[in-house]
Structure 1
């Protein structure tokens, strides 16, 4: 990765035209060929960029550009389209290259698979006396996240989401309709479990006799130890 901090201006042409007036910016050239121009704000989003595949050619400025103080001209051309990004550099304050290697990618914490595993290990969160039958219980329309037994012996089907919305309730409803056709399982009660349940989803679930359970991921991980609190 190459990092250049410079006084620069840029013009993008192709499917659209855009211009960045002269200002101090960070130019990032990545190993995949992408080129991005960042300001000191706007969070992660660049002001302008060129996605790969593209090529970068550094040229000397012409006479008119030199008179304006331009020291370098970068022409970034997309390989499969007419899109082009021309960057004029004036003063360069920093220019460095770094080998970052292969990135393993983002490992998300608190995804549905984690919630499913932890709820299976802490099945009492559904209520005292519940027991786990199995995770990923197969059906003809897809696996039910958790199948459990209530203290009275009835079957409980649990659908788990990070953020529970109406689509999740509809999904669980379809599972319940199918599972309740099985005389070995019926009657099957539904539980909609999520870290956050939207009000519309809660209303729909309640109307269909589905119980809602809000999962506290930190407590389930053991980070929120009630016994160690001062208050």
Structure 2
């Protein structure tokens, strides 16, 4: 993991163009190749990023950039598309690298982990024609709980919580933003599933086109048990 605090501007070019004007920001370069741009407020999600597979090159500024005060340019090119992230650095305040090693992954709450296992086994709880693909589908910022397909064959990302709150909706939103950049998956819709979903979380999810599903833990366990009974 490389951590750089720099005064910089950032441009994203591709299917969506975006510009971040000159400011002091945190730049993260991860071992998987992803590059993330963070600010110190507003949200814990990155302002912009490039997910793997991608390659980063550190370049000398051209004449125009040098005249504007740029001392280095990061050019991050996605390997499977024309998407490109260009970071123009005016001043570096901190630059360090750290070996984090292999992460053991998120340890789920007992009930939450069991809900995930039960829903994966009985994926048609979400609707007729749903098919299970995998649990813990990895993205550049972490694993989404379940990847499945609906009756039409479209990809669906499912995030499972014991108690559904706004943070969980934000988490699923970030996963969907990344997964919809993958041409092999897109378009991907989202399902936010929990035993209890708070009204504010439901409103936010529905506003973002995310379907909310309330899970009955005892009912799922009952399905699981009934399928293993002889009589």
TM-score (norm 2): 0.52
Q: Name 1:36's counterpart in structure 2.
A: 36
Does structure 1 residue 108 correspond to structure 2 residue 155?
no
| Separation of aligned partners in 1, 2:29 and 2:217 | 45
Q: Structure 1 residues 113, 10: closer, same or farther in 2, change over 3 A?
A: closer
Q: Name 1:90's counterpart in structure 2.
A: 90
- Aligned to 1:111, the other structure's residue is in SS state helix
1:106 Cα shift?
1.2
User: Matches of residues 110-149 of structure 1 in structure 2 within 5 Å?
Assistant: 110-112=110-112
| Separation of aligned partners in 1, 2:72 and 2:48 | 18
Q: Name 1:13's counterpart in structure 2.
A: 13
Count residues with an aligned counterpart: 139
Q: Name 1:54's counterpart in structure 2.
A: 54
1:45 Cα shift?
0.1
Q: Structure 1 residues 31, 17: closer, same or farther in 2, change over 3 A?
A: same
| Separation of aligned partners in 2, 1:30 and 1:74 | 14
Q: Name 1:76's counterpart in structure 2.
A: 76
| Separation of aligned partners in 2, 1:173 and 1:45 | 33
Q: Structure 1 residues 110, 60: closer, same or farther in 2, change over 3 A?
A: same
Q: Structure 1 residues 84, 110: closer, same or farther in 2, change over 3 A?
A: same
Q: Structure 1 residues 170, 28: closer, same or farther in 2, change over 3 A?
A: closer
RMSD: 3.3
For structure 2, the residue ranges without an aligned partner over 5 or more in a row are 124-160, 164-194, 197-212
1:162 Cα shift?
3.2
| Separation of aligned partners in 2, 1:112 and 1:73 | 44
- Aligned to 2:75, the other structure's residue is in SS state strand
1:101 Cα shift?
0.4
1:54 Cα shift?
0.3
For structure 1, the residue ranges without an aligned partner over 5 or more in a row are 116-135, 143-160, 185-231
- Indicate conservation of the 8 Å contact 1:8/1:89, yes or no: yes
Q: Can you list the C-alpha shifts for 1:128-155, whole angstroms capped at 9, x where unaligned? A: xxxxxxxx9xxxx89xxxxxxxxxxxxx
Q: Name 2:219's counterpart in structure 1.
A: 172
| Separation of aligned partners in 2, 1:170 and 1:100 | 36
Q: Which has the larger Rg? A: 1
| Separation of aligned partners in 1, 2:76 and 2:107 | 33
Q: Can you list the C-alpha shifts for 1:134-192, whole angstroms capped at 9, x where unaligned? A: xx9xxxx89xxxxxxxxxxxxxxxxxx9353675459839958x96xx9x7xxxxxxxx
| Separation of aligned partners in 2, 1:40 and 1:3 | 14
